[in-house]
Amino acid sequence: MIKVRGLSKSFGDHVVLKDVNVEIKDGEILAILGESGAGKSVFLQHLIGLFRPDQGTVEIDGRDVTHLSERSWLELRKNMGYLFQQGALYDFMTVFENVAFPLQEHTSLQAREIKVKVDEILEMVGLQEAARKYPAELSGGMKKRAALARAVVLGSKIIFCDEPTSGLDPMRSRDISDLIQRTSRRLKCTTVITSHDVPNSFRIADRLVVFREGVIIAVGTQQELLASSDQFIKEFIK
């Protein structure tokens, strides 16, 4: 379980997060919705230790990780996967090498075992044919699939997805959302997604959080949000 209590963050005079409190249950898919600049990505990056909060705490499985050193975070992140908005694949590696990289770094698997594992993951995300391609040769959707494969190849228990459908057409958005849901269920991992893609978030998320100007204004299921009387939420999910 991930528990966030009283999280606040500012960059200079600009307050990005204000007293954010949320609990993310094991195995659930939580979608964080909000306008651009509402603080979603910054919040997500706090959960994986890329930012340190000015105030508040982040607890993962009962362990306070707020003030861990970068070296401790590097250890902890081996159990987490992070899908970047643009994929952030290494452009000097092929898709296969990108996905194999975490296995080479953090396991003692032999080359043959790594190949079996990577092939299996690439098949799961539908990229077997693109294994030898470089990221520059892939479409936006393929890049995200490859990045998702890399994020989960170690069997991560938590996956963070930053705007996984941004820049994709509606069909590809639906595909990648379904893939995230399938992967999450199959690996039984906790998944946190930031998005402003309301329809796909409603389809795949167990619960949703709505951010506005760095503050959480609603937490609940799809039905609960639809029943909300808050004007902003009504407008946002319309």
Partner 1 sequence: MADAEREAERTIAMSFLIRYISDFLVGTGNALFFLRDVLFCVVRGRIRWAEVLKQIYEQGVQSVVIIALASFASGAVLALQGYVMLNRFGAKEYVAQLVALSLVRELSPVFGSFIFSGKAGARLAAELGTMNVNDQMLATRTLGVDPVEFLVVPRMVACFLVLPGLIVFSELVGIFGGYFIGIYDAHIPSATYIHQTLRSIGYVDFFSGFFKTLFFGLLIGWVCCYQGFYTRGGSLGVGQYTTKAVAFSYILIVISNMILTKLILTFWG
Binding site residues, partner 1, CB under 8 A: 48, 50, 70-71, 73-78, 80-82, 84-86, 88-91, 101-102, 105-106, 150
- What are the φ/ψ torsions at residue 74 (nearest 5 degrees)? -60, -40
End-to-end CA distance of the chain: 31
| Beta carbons of 158 and 81 less than 8 angstroms apart | yes
CB of residue 77 to partner 1, shortest distance in Å: 4
CB of residue 156 to partner 1, shortest distance in Å: 10
* Distance from C-alpha of 100 to C-alpha of 114, rounded to nearest angstrom: 7
CB of residue 78 to partner 1, shortest distance in Å: 4
Shortest CA distance to 141 belongs to which of 107, 113, 180, 102?
180
CB of residue 20 to partner 1, shortest distance in Å: 21
Task: For residue 215, give both structure tokens.
Answer: 């503050």
Minimum CB distance to partner 1 smaller for 153 or for 168:
153
* Distance from C-alpha of 11 to C-alpha of 18, rounded to nearest angstrom: 12
Residue showing tokens 């890399």:
150
Minimum CB distance to partner 1 smaller for 48 or for 121:
48
CB of residue 90 to partner 1, shortest distance in Å: 6
Minimum CB distance to partner 1 smaller for 190 or for 225:
190
Minimum CB distance to partner 1 smaller for 48 or for 233:
48
55 CB burial (10 A radius; 0-12, 13-18, 19+): middle
CB of residue 11 to partner 1, shortest distance in Å: 13
CB of residue 50 to partner 1, shortest distance in Å: 6
**15 membership: H or E segment, kind and range:** strand 14-24
**234 membership: H or E segment, kind and range:** helix 231-237
Distance of CA 94 to the CA centre of its chain: 22
Minimum CB distance to partner 1 smaller for 72 or for 221:
72
Minimum CB distance to partner 1 smaller for 60 or for 210:
60
| Beta carbons of 18 and 215 less than 8 angstroms apart | yes
Minimum CB distance to partner 1 smaller for 106 or for 212:
106
